[in-house]
C-alpha cells in the first residue's frame, strides 16, 4: 500500500478534520464542526488524536476504552542504536496514531521477498483514538548510555510500601509505551509493531492489557466503574482543570532536567483484587471502605456523584460518615499536602489463577509533576491505613519519566534527552 493511503481511507471514512482545542481532541469526519471534546467526540471511536504537540497525547486525552501497556528493556549498549530506534519508533507512532500502517510500504505493498513493514491486523480499521505515550525508567540512566547526569531527581525509585508484594519480572523497565485506543486490536497492533521494529535493540520485559477505563480525564466523560462495582475517577484531575494541570501535572521549566519540561511522571501499579472475598462483603461495608455509595457514587451523607466530600459529617452516634480509614478520605488532597493525581487506570482480567479465583484487578496509572510530592505520600497513607487493603495486593510497580510532546516531523521521542 502506498504512503498516501491510510487505514481510515481503506475503511471508507474519508479525510479527517482535526479539532483544535489542545491535546485530547479527536479528529472529526469531514463536515463536522471543530470544538473541544464532548461525550459525542469521546464516543467517536474512529477518530484520530493529533500526535504532535506541546504535551504527549494519551495523558489528558479523554481516556479511551482499551489499554495495551508495554515495558521494554534496552538490549543494545550503543547509544546511536537507541537514538535511531527512537526515531524509527516516532515515525511509526506518528503514522499509526493517524490510522496509517506502521511503515511506508505496509502489510502488502512491499517486495514479496521481504518481510512486510506492517503486520496487517489493523488493515481496514480506523485510528480508533489511538495514542502512544512514551516514558523512560530510572534503569535507562545507568552507565550504559552516559545518561546518569540527565536523570531527573523526581525519577528516584519509589520506596517499598507496607504490604507491597511486587514481582520484579513485571515491574520497572527502561522504556514504556502506553497504547490506548477504543479498539483493542488497534492498540495491540501498535505495540506489536513497535516491538517488531525494536528487534535486536529492545526486548519486551512485561506488558499489560486493560479494558473499561477506570478514570475519566474529561468532564465530558461519564465515570466508569472498576471491578469492585464502584464509580472510579469522579474526583480526578480533568483536562478542563487548566490551572491545576499546570500546577500538578506538567513539569515546568526549572523543575529539574530541562528535557522533561512539558512532560509528566507516570506511576503504574498492578493491583490485584480479591474479588471473591469482596463479593461476600456486605454493601454497607463496601460503601464505608470507599466513603461513597455504590449506586450513584455520591460521597456518604450526600446525594449526587459530584457533591463535595464532607469529612465533618457525623452519623446518629456521632461517628464520622466517611470513616478515618475510608479510601477517599486518605487519598484526598486535603490529607496529603494538596497532592493531586491524574489517574488513568484500566480494569484487567488475566484469566483465573489455577485455584479457581479470577486473576483480576486494577492496572493503576497516574500522571503527576513530581511523584515524591504526589504519589508517594498518597500511597504511604493508603498502604498504612486504607480499609481497602484487606481486598487488594500490589503486585507490580513502574515509574517512568514521560517527556514533553513531539513538536513536528523533525522531532522524535527522547530527542532532548539523547542529543
Ligand atoms: C496512590 C494512589 C491511589 C491508589 C493506589 C488507588 C487505588 C485504588 N483506588 C480504587 C478505587 C477508588 N479510588 C477513588 C478515589 C481516589 N483514589 C485515589 C488514589 C489512589 N487509588 C485518589 C487520589 C482518589 C480521589 C480522592 C478524592 O479526592 O476524593 C474512588 C472514588 C471515586 C473517585 O473519586 O475516583 C474509588 C472507587 C481502587 C479499587 C484501588 C485499588 C485497587
Ligand atoms: Fe483510589
Of all protein residues, the one whose alpha carbon is nearest to atom 20 of ligand 1 is 331
Which range, of 23-27, 48-52, 82-86, averages the lowest pLDDT?
A: 23-27
pLDDT tens-digit map of 329-369: 999 999 999 999 999 999 999 999 999 999 999 999 999 99
**CB–CB of 193/101 below 8 Å?**
no
pTM, full prediction: 0.92
- In the predicted model, is pLDDT for residue 70 greater than 90? yes
Beta carbon of 327 within 6 Å of any ligand 1 atom: yes
- To the nearest 10°, report the CA torsion of 191, 195, 201, 204: 80
179 touches ligand 1 (CB under 6 Å): no
Percent of the chain at pLDDT exceeding 90:
88
344 CB near ligand 1 (under 6 Å): no
Assess whether the C-beta atom of 214 lies below 6 angstroms from ligand 1. Answer: no
DSSP-derived secondary structure for 60-72: SSPPPSEEEEEEE
Angle between helices 79-96 and 184-197 (to 10 degrees): 150
The pairs formed by 331-338 with CB atoms below 8 angstroms and a separation of 24 or more are 331/378, 331/381, 331/382, 332/235, 335/381, 336/374, 336/377, 336/378, 336/381, 337/373, 337/377
Beta carbons within 8 Å of 68's beta carbon, 6+ residues apart? 179, 184, 187, 188, 190, 191, 207, 208, 209, 210
What is the pLDDT, as a whole number, of residue 33?
Answer: 36
pLDDT, averaged across the chain: 91
Confidence at 214, pLDDT banded by 50, 70, 90: confident
State the cell numbers at 319.
461517628
Above 90 in pLDDT, residue 12? no
Say if ligand 1 is within 6 A of residue 329 CB.
no
Ligand 1: distance of its center to the CA of 378 in Å?
10
pLDDT of res. 8: 46
| Whether 367 contacts 373, CB under 8 Å | no
Answer whether 292 contacts ligand 1 (Cβ < 6 A). yes
* Domain layout of the chain by residue ranges: 40-145+168-417
Measured CA to CA, the distance from residue 341 to residue 174 in angstroms comes to 23
Distance 234 CA to ligand 2 centre (A): 10
Atom of ligand 1 nearest to the CA of 366: 2
Identify the pLDDT of residue 403: 98
How confident is the model at residue 396, as a pLDDT?
98
Contact (Cβ atoms closer than 8 angstroms) between residue 391 and residue 358:
no
- Which residue among 233, 328, 359 has the greatest number of ligand 1 atoms within 8 angstroms of its CB, and so is best to mutate? 328
Ligand 1, atom nearest to 361 Cα: 42
Task: Please indicate whether residue 290, judged by its CB atom, sits closer than 6 Å to ligand 1.
Answer: yes
| Residue to probe by mutation, ligand 1, list 235, 275, 299, 394, most atoms within 8 Å of CB | 235
How far is the centre of ligand 1, averaged over its atoms, from the C-alpha of 166 (Å)? Answer: 20
Pocket lining: 230 vs ligand 1, CB cutoff 6 Å: yes
- Compute, in angstroms, the gap from residue 150 CA to the centroid of ligand 2: 32
Amino acid at each position: 500500500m502506498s504512503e498516501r493511503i491510510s487505514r481510515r481511507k481503506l475503511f471508507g471514512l474519508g479525510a479527517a478534520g482535526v479539532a483544535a482545542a489542545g491535546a485530547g481532541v479527536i479528529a472529526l469526519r469531514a463536515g463536522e464542526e471543530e470544538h473541544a471534546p464532548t461525550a459525542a467526540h469521546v464516543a467517536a471511536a474512529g477518530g484520530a488524536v493529533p500526535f504532535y504537540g506541546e504535551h504527549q497525547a494519551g495523558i489528558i486525552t479523554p481516556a479511551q476504552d482499551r489499554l495495551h501497556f508495554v515495558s521494554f528493556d534496552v538490549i543494545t549498549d550503543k547509544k546511536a542504536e537507541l537514538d535511531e530506534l527512537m526515531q524509527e519508533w516516532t515515525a511509526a507512532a506518528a503514522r499509526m496514531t493517524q490510522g496509517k500502517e506502521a511503515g511506508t510500504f505496509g502489510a502488502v505493498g512491499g517486495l514479496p521477498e521481504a518481510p512486510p513493514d506492517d503486520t496487517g491486523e489493523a488493515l481496514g480499521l480506523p485510528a480508533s483514538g489511538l495514542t502512544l505515550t512514551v516514558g523512560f525508567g530510572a534503569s535507562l540512566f545507568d552507565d550504559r548510555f552516559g545518561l546518569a547526569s540527565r536523570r531527573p531527581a523526581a525519577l528516584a525509585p519509589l520506596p517499598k510500601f507496607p504490604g507491597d508484594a511486587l514481582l520484579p519480572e513485571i515491574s520497572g523497565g527502561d522504556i514504556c509505551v502506553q497504547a490506548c485506543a477504543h479498539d483493542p486490536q488497534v492498540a495491540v497492533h501498535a505495540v506489536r509493531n513497535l516491538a517488531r521494529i525494536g528487534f535486536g535493540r529492545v526486548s519486551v520485559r512485561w506488558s499489560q492489557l486493560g479494558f473499561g477505563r477506570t478514570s475519566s480525564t474529561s468532564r465530558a466523560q461519564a465515570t466508569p466503574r472498576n471491578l469492585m462495582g464502584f464509580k472510579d475517577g469522579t474526583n480526578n484531575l480533568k483536562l478542563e482543570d487548566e490551572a491545576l494541570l499546570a500546577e500538578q501535572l506538567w513539569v515546568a521549566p526549572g523543575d529539574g532536567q530541562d528535557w522533561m519540561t512539558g512532560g509528566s511522571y507516570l506511576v503504574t501499579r498492578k493491583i490485584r483484587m480479591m474479588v471473591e472475598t469482596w463479593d461476600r462483603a456486605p454493601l454497607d461495608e463496601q460503601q464505608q471502605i470507599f466513603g461513597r455509595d455504590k449506586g450513584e457514587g455520591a460521597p456518604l451523607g450526600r446525594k449526587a456523584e459530584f457533591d463535595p466530600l464532607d469529612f465533618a459529617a457525623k452519623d446518629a452516634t456521632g461517628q464520622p460518615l466517611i470513616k478515618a480509614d475510608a479510601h477517599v478520605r486518605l487519598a484526598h488532597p486535603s490529607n496529603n499536602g494538596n497532592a493531586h493525581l491524574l489517574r488513568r487506570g484500566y480494569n484487567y482480567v488475566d484469566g483465573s489463577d489455577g485455584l479457581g479465583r479470577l486473576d483480576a484487578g486494577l492496572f493503576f496509572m497516574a500522571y503527576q509533576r513530581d511523584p515524591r510530592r504526589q504519589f508517594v505520600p498518597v500511597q504511604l497513607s493508603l498502604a498504612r491505613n486504607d480499609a481497602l487493603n484487606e481486598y487488594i495486593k500490589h503486585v507490580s510497580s513502574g515509574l517512568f519519566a514521560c517527556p514533553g510532546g513531539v513538536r513536528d516531523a523533525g522531532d522524535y521521542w527522547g530527542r532532548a534527552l539523547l542529543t
